[in-house]
């Protein structure tokens, strides 16, 4: 069995919240190389999107390994030290606690992991999103695994014809539930259509126990009880041979959809698929974007990455996303561009309300019909 762990954190931005400084990337690579040389991990790739560093690691320690989570914690301490030294923005932003205590979950970084038996050929895509939140994956993952207009394999490939099981997490109640598609698609859509509350956590083959796709489902705002940064999400998808083909998985990003995040974590904007060299969130601190790291896993080694959105085939999606961004930006501080109050990650509303509280008087009761004429 091999475990693929992707642990992602913002430990400092260059410049502002737009990107990661190359020195931080070098530090993360050097730290992971030391662990690989010692044989603690099989292989690694340091990925990036916007101001987030993603530690993509293969190892034999299973999911939720204290050892592997501890390594990620140490690497992020090292990148934070670089960020502090260069006075980069928000140094150590996602490290919410001072000390590591057995798991990195709940400490700030986003985590997606899966353990599986390596197939004769194992193509995997790791998606990294910035300036958005875990619910952003709901729509594309549904398209990949449940929509035959996106994934003809659901109709054509006998190995996929039985559909898939989706496990969703209720972020508010902290409960999980499993739904089979296509038979329970409408039930599933009832929930995942509200991505700020219900997020897809895992996808399985029918009745399966080994995930074929998994997401990071932390929400920093819920962890910390107040705004501490965006909970920029990770998605891992295994592809081919009875699973969606690489092209079917990527196709799910060709019709950009609106997600929560963008400027100040308080806006609705399109999720734009970009290549590695366009992974810098600059315009209005965005727009929200996704990069795709493609690998073939071979005896635990990460053969890759290939930049999967580096294809003119996605130019139209990028253009569409920009048009959607223009339309939204015209709304300025109005909904639906600005998120509804309860979804805004940090807001001046309570302070404004307090300051003008005594201006709000009881409105006169509305009087209708005969009563009014008296």
Binding footprint of Mg ion on the chain (CB under 5 A): 10, 13, 17, 50-52, 90, 130, 232
Is position 52 an interface residue for ligand F6R (rule: CB under 6 A)? no
Is position 264 an interface residue for ligand F6R (rule: CB under 6 A)? yes
- Helix ranges, the chain (H): 22-37, 66-85, 138-146, 153-156, 185-192, 220-224, 246-251, 315-329, 349-356, 369-373
Q: How far is the CB of 330 from ligand F6R (least distance, A)?
A: 19
Nearer Cβ to ligand F6R, position 199 or 263? 263
What does the radius of gyration of the chain's CA atoms come to, in whole angstroms? 22
Nearer Cβ to ligand F6R, position 129 or 211? 129
Active site residue 230: yes
For residues 157 and 367, what is the distance between their CA atoms, to the nearest angstrom? 65
Residue 68, C-beta contacts closer than 8 angstroms, at least 6 positions apart: 3, 5, 41, 57, 59, 61
Contact pattern from residue 215 through residue 234 relative to ligand F6R, giving x for each residue in contact according to CB under 6 A and a dash for the rest: ---------------x----
For residues 28 and 30, what is the distance between their CA atoms, to the nearest angstrom? 6
With CB under 6 A as the contact rule, which of the stretches 176-184, 247-255, 256-264, 270-278 interacts with ligand F6R? 256-264
Nearer Cβ to Mg ion, position 211 or 265? 265
For residues 93 and 107, what is the distance between their CA atoms, to the nearest angstrom? 11
Place of tokens 């300025």: 332
Nearer Cβ to ligand F6R, position 251 or 343? 343
Residue 89, C-beta contacts closer than 8 angstroms, at least 6 positions apart: 12, 13, 14, 15, 16, 17, 51
Given 230, 231, 232, 293, which residue is catalytic? 230
For residues 177 and 143, what is the distance between their CA atoms, to the nearest angstrom? 19
Contact pattern from residue 11 through residue 30 relative to ligand F6R, giving x for each residue in contact according to CB under 6 A and a dash for the rest: -----xx-------------
Given 64, 157, 170, 227, which residue is catalytic? 227
For ligand F6R, the binding residue among 231, 260, 285, 343 (CB under 6 A) is: 285
Active site residue 98: no
- Residue 272's φ and ψ, nearest 5 degrees, are -100, 125
- Residue 353's φ and ψ, nearest 5 degrees, are -60, -45
Is position 265 an interface residue for ligand F6R (rule: CB under 6 A)? yes
With CB under 6 A as the contact rule, which of the stretches 60-68, 155-163, 197-205, 262-270 interacts with ligand F6R? 262-270
Nearer Cβ to ligand F6R, position 131 or 289? 131
**Partner whose binding site includes residue 263, from Mg ion, ligand F6R, none (CB under 5 to 8 Å by kind):** ligand F6R
Nearer Cβ to ligand F6R, position 264 or 289? 264
166 contacts 188 by C-beta, under 8 angstroms: yes
Judged by CB under 6 A, the chain residues 61 through 90 that form the site for ligand F6R are: 90
Is position 49 an interface residue for ligand F6R (rule: CB under 6 A)? no
Active site residue 10: yes
52 contacts 232 by C-beta, under 8 angstroms: yes
Is position 267 an interface residue for ligand F6R (rule: CB under 6 A)? no
Bridge-based pairing of strands 289-298 and 272-273 is parallel
Token duo for residue 128: 């990294």
Comparing every residue's Cβ against Mg ion, the nearest one is 17
For residues 120 and 122, what is the distance between their CA atoms, to the nearest angstrom? 7
Token duo for residue 208: 């399966």
The catalytic residue positions are: 10, 227, 230
Binding region for ligand F6R (CB under 6 A): 16-17, 90, 131, 230, 261, 263-265, 285
């Amino acid at each position: 069995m091999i475990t693929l762990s992707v642990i992602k954190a913002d430990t400092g931005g260059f410049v502002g919240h737009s990107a990661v400084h190359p020195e931080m990337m070098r530090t993360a690579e050097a730290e992971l190389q030391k662990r690989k040389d010692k044989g603690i991990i099989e292989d690694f790739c340091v990925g990036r999107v916007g101001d987030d560093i993603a530690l993509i690691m293969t190892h034999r320690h299973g999911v939720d390994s204290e050892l592997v989570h501890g390594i990620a914690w140490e690497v992020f301490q090292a990148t934070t030290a670089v960020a502090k030294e260069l006075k980069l923005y928000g140094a150590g932003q996602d490290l919410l606690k001072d000390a590591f205590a057995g798991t990195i979950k709940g400490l700030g970084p986003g985590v997606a992991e899966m353990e599986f038996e390596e197939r004769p050929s194992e193509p995997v895509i790791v998606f990294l999103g910035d300036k958005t939140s875990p619910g952003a994956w709901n729509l594309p993952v549904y398209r990949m695994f449940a929509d035959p207009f996106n994934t003809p394999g659901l109709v054509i490939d006998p190995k996929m014809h039985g559909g898939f099981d989706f496990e969703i997490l209720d972020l508010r109640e902290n409960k999980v539930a499993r739904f089979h598609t296509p038979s329970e698609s409408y039930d599933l859509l009832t929930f995942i259509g509200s991505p700020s509350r219900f997020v897809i956590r895992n996808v399985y083959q029918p009745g399966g126990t080994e995930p074929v796709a998994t997401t990071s489902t932390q929400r920093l705002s819920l962890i910390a009880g107040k705004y501490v940064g965006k909970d920029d999400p990770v998605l891992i998808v295994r592809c081919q041979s009875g699973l969606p083909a690489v092209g079917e998985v990527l196709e799910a990003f060709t019709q950009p959809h609106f997600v929560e995040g963008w400027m100040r974590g308080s806006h609705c904007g399109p999720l734009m698929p970009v290549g590695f060299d366009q992974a810098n969130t600059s315009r209005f601190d965005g727009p929200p974007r996704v990069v795709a790291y493609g690998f073939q896993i071979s005896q635990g080694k990460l053969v890759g990455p290939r930049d999967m959105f580096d294809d003119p085939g996605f130019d139209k999606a990028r253009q569409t996303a920009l048009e959607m961004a223009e339309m939204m930006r015209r709304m300025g501080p109005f909904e639906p561009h600005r998120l509804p109050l309860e979804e805004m990650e940090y807001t001046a509303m309570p302070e404004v309300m307090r300051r003008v509280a005594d201006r709000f008087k009881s409105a006169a009761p509305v009087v209708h019909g005969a009563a009014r004429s008296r």
